[in-house]
């Protein structure tokens, strides 16, 4: 799932190193990119928990990256910029940034804002360990599923899919979200895999897979679990 690294995208080597050492000194694991392209790669490969993004990068506008990330992730984005212009701040927030820090900034403020952002995602994903939906019991710690008290065996991919769905019962997860979360961003178009594996999941969980009670499909959009 989501790693607990912080990805820093910053082309100024000095600042980059400074940020990394400060973050490391405070117990965070860091990843580092110097271009947008490199950042995208690390994002999908490592699924960091937070993104610190300098706007001014050699191979494009950082704002483009914000929108790109927001296509399939809710990861907090903290924007750094040399510019003070209010409009730029507003634009970034509209694109989906979570915070904006203008240079020069103090490390301690940065660290405090990082901490707040991470605390928030921790709060959000304060998931229960065991979910109950109908006759289903899903234990996310032991990765086990019970149907009518009977254990059901799921393959890793099947469990990942069910796990995503069960974190927010009733919420529709788009094909895009599911594919990027389970397979990776480069599989966004392979809805076929989704169909096949959802089918296999249904075969295990539903008495009548043709008329599913738990895993509902939203045609043209994605899938969701029945709300309790």
Please give the sequence-ordered ranges of beta strands (E in DSSP) within 120-211, or none if there are none: 130-133, 136-139, 144-147, 150-152, 173-174
List 46, 72, 167, 191, residue binding DNA (CB under 7 A): 191
Helices 156-167, 191-205: crossing angle, 10 deg rounding: 90
List 34, 47, 113, 202, residue binding a second copy (CB under 8 A): 113
Among residues 58 and 156, whose Cβ is nearest to a second copy? 156
Among residues 59 and 109, whose Cβ is nearest to a second copy? 109
Q: Using the rule CB under 8 A, is 97 a contact of a second copy?
A: yes
> 191 touches which of a second copy, DNA, none (CB within 5 to 8 A by kind)?
DNA
Name the minimum Å distance from CB 65 to DNA.
26
Query: Going by C-beta distance under 8 Å and a sequence separation of 6 or more, which residues neighbour residue 197?
Result: 157, 158, 161
* Per-residue binder mask for DNA (CB under 7 A), 203-222, x = binder: x-----xx------xxxxx-
Q: How far is Cα 76 from Cα 90, in angstroms, rounded to an integer?
A: 16
Give the residues across from 218 on adjacent strands. Answer: 222
Q: How far is Cα 190 from Cα 203, in angstroms, rounded to an integer?
A: 21
- The two beta strands, 136-139 and 130-133, are antiparallel
Residue pair 140/129 in contact by the 8 Å Cβ criterion:
yes
Give the footprint of DNA on this chain (CB under 7 A).
153, 155-158, 175, 183, 190-193, 195-200, 202-203, 209-210, 217-221
Give the footprint of a second copy on this chain (CB under 8 A).
74, 86-87, 89-90, 93-94, 97-99, 106, 108-109, 111-113, 115-116, 120, 123-124, 126, 141-144, 156, 168, 170-172, 218-221, 224
């Amino acid at each position: 799932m989501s790693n607990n690294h912080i990805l820093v995208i910053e082309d100024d080597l000095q600042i980059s190193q400074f940020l990394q050492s400060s973050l490391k000194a405070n117990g965070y694991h860091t990843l580092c990119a110097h271009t947008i392209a490199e950042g995208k790669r690390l994002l999908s490969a490592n699924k960091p928990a937070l993104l610190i993004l300098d706007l001014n990068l050699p191979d494009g506008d950082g704002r483009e990256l914000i929108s790109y990330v927001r296509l399939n992730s809710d990861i907090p984005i903290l924007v750094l910029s040399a510019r003070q212009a209010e409009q730029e701040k507003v634009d970034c927030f509209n694109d989906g940034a979570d915070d904006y820090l203008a240079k020069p900034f103090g490390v301690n403020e940065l660290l405090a804002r990082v901490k707040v952002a991470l605390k928030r995602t921790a709060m959000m994903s304060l998931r229960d360990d065991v979910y109950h939906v109908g006759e289903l019991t899903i234990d996310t710690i032991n990765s086990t599923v019970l149907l009518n008290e009977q254990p059901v065996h799921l393959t890793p991919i099947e469990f990942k899919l069910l796990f995503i769905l069960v974190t927010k019962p009733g919420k529709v997860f788009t094909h895009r979200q599911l594919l990027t979360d389970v397979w990776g961003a480069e599989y966004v178009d392979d809805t076929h895999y989704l169909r096949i594996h959802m089918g296999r999941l249904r075969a295990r969980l539903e008495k009548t897979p043709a008329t599913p009670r738990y895993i509902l499909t939203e045609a043209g959009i994605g899938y969701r679990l029945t709300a309790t």
